[in-house]
Amino acid sequence: MLNLIIVIAVVLVLAILVTVFRVITLVNVAKGEGSKSVPPTNRINAILLILFLIAGLFGFFYFSFGGLQDDFVLPLASEHGAVTDRLFWITMGITCFVFIVTQIFLFGFAYKYQHKEGNKADFYPHNNKLEVIWTAIPAVVLAILIVSGWKAWSDITGKAPDNAEVIEVMGYQFSWSVRYPGADKNLGDSDFQKMDVTNTMGIDFTDQASFDDFIPTQLVLPKGRPVLLKIRAKDVIHSVFQPHFRMQMNAVPGMPTRFWFVPTKTTEEMREETGNPDFNYELVCNKICGYGHFGMKYSILVLEADEYDQWYADQQAWLKLNDDYLSEVPDNLKEAARIAAGIDNVISVDKADKALVSN
C-alpha cells in the first residue's frame, strides 16, 4: 500500500513539474522568445563560465597544496624512484602551466567574446605563423620530456648489477610466494607441472641449485643493495606493484619478467619518517585477477644489509622443512641435497627410503 502511495506521489510530482515546465515554455513563446536568435540564457551562461574558471582554479590550488585531509604523495624508498619522482614533478610543472593558461584562455575568451548586439566576429580563418609556433613549441617541450624519460627508462630497465640479490616472486590467486636462492645464491629451476599442494612454487629438485632454496613468509629486502626480482605467475596475470619503491612489473604465466631496484630506507626508518609505528611496506596486486584481487597483499620487510645477511643465514631450506621431496631428487644427488639443505642424515635417510617405497 505504502509503495503504491509513493508511486502515485512520484507520478503526481512529475506531472506538476511537467505542467510548470509547459506553462513557462508557453509564456516564453507568447513573449516571442523563439524568434530571437540569441539564447535567453546567453549572458548568465557567460558569467557562469567565468565563475566556474575562478572556482575551479581556486579548488585546484587549494586541494593540491594541502587542502586535502590526506597526503597524496607517498614517501619514497628506492633509488630509481628519486629519478622518476623528479621527472614526475617536472612534467607536473609543465602540464599545470599549460593547463592553467589554456583553461584561462578558453573560459576567458568565452566570457569576453559573448554575443553582443551589433558586434561582428572577426573573419580570421588562419595564421600560418601562429600555427607553426604552437606546433613547434609543444614539439620541443615533448622532445625534452622524451629524452629525459627515455634516459630514466633505460637505466631502470637495464641489466641488474652482478651483485644484485636475486629473489623470485610468484603471484597466484590470491597471494604471493617468494623464494630465495639460499647459500649458493643460485635459484633452482621450477616447473609448473611439478606444482602440488605443498610444493606450491613447483620447485624442480632435479636441479642442484634448488636444494638450498628457501621460501619465507614475507619478502625481506636489504637496504642499499640492488635487488633483482624474478617474477612469474601461477594461474592468471598479476602485477607486482610496490608504490613506495615506485616499482611495478606484471607477473605473467608462461613468461617470466624481472625488475631490479635499490631500497633506500628500512622499515624501521620508514616508521620514524612517517611517524607511524605500524608502518609496513606492502606488495600490491595491480592487475585484475579475480574476486580476491583487492586483498592480494604480501608484506615486505626492509632490513639493514647486515641484519639482512643474518636473517638470510638463519633461514632453513625448503627441502629441509619438507624432506619428503628428497624422493624427487635423483639418486646420485641425494647426498648433495642433504648437505645443501642441511638435513640431518639419519632421520632423513629413513624418511626418504619410506618415500621411495611409497612411490
Partner 1 sequence: MSVADIQIEKDLHHDGHDDHHEQSFISKYIFSTDHKTIAKQFLITGIFWALIGGGLSVIFRLQLGFPDMELYWLKPLLGKWITAEGKIDSEFYLALVTMHGTIMVFFVLTAGLSGTFANFLIPLQIGARDMASGFMNMLSYWFFFVSGLIMFISFFLETGPASGGWTVYPPLSALPQAIQGSGAGMTMWLVSMVFFIASTLLGGINYITTIINMRTEGMSFTRLPLTVWALFLTAILGLLSFPVLVAAALLLVFDRSFGTSFYLSDIYIGGEALPHMGGSPILYQHLFWFLGHPEVYIVILPALGITSEIISTNSRKPIFGYRAMIGSMLAIGFLSFIVWAHHMFVTGLNPFLGSIFMFLTLIIAVPSAVKAFNYITTLWRGNIKFTTAMLFSIGLVSFFISGGLTGIFLGNSALDINLHDTYFVVAHFHLVMGSAAFFGMLAGVYHWFPKMFGRMMDERLGSIHFWLTFVGVYLVFFPLHYIGIAGFPRRYYSFTSFDAFQTFTDLNSFVSIAAALTFFAQFIFLFNFFYSIFAGRKASLNPWKSNTLEWTTPRLPGHGNWPGAIPKVFRWAYVYSKPGAKDDFIPQTVPLSETPESNLPNEVEEAKAEASKK
| Bond prior to 174 in cis (omega within 30° of 0) | yes
- CB 342 → partner 1: shortest distance, Å? 28
Report the distance separating Cα 52 and Cα 111, nearest Å. 11
- CB 181 → partner 1: shortest distance, Å? 21
Beta carbon nearer to partner 1, 249 or 303 = 249
3-state SS assignment for residue 67: helix
Through-space distance between the first and last CA atoms of the chain, rounded to whole angstroms: 72
Beta carbon nearer to partner 1, 271 or 351 = 271
Tell me which residue of 153, 193, 211, 154 sits closest to 334, measured CA to CA: 211
Beta carbon nearer to partner 1, 266 or 348 = 266
Tell me which residue of 124, 235, 106 sits closest to 172, measured CA to CA: 235
Tell me which residue of 262, 183, 268, 264 sits closest to 229, measured CA to CA: 262
- CB 186 → partner 1: shortest distance, Å? 21
What is the CA 2 to chain-centroid distance, rounded? 49
Beta carbon nearer to partner 1, 151 or 354 = 151
- CB 202 → partner 1: shortest distance, Å? 7
Report the distance separating Cα 71 and Cα 69, nearest Å. 7
Report the distance separating Cα 198 and Cα 196, nearest Å. 6
- CB 210 → partner 1: shortest distance, Å? 17
The residue to which cell 539564447 is assigned? 39
Beta carbon nearer to partner 1, 81 or 182 = 81
The residue to which cell 594541502 is assigned? 66
Beta carbon nearer to partner 1, 109 or 350 = 109
Report the distance separating Cα 352 and Cα 348, nearest Å. 6
Quote the DSSP letter at residue 115.
-
Dihedral sign from CA coordinates of 137, 142, 148, 150? negative
- CB 191 → partner 1: shortest distance, Å? 8
Beta carbon nearer to partner 1, 290 or 330 = 290
- CB 286 → partner 1: shortest distance, Å? 5
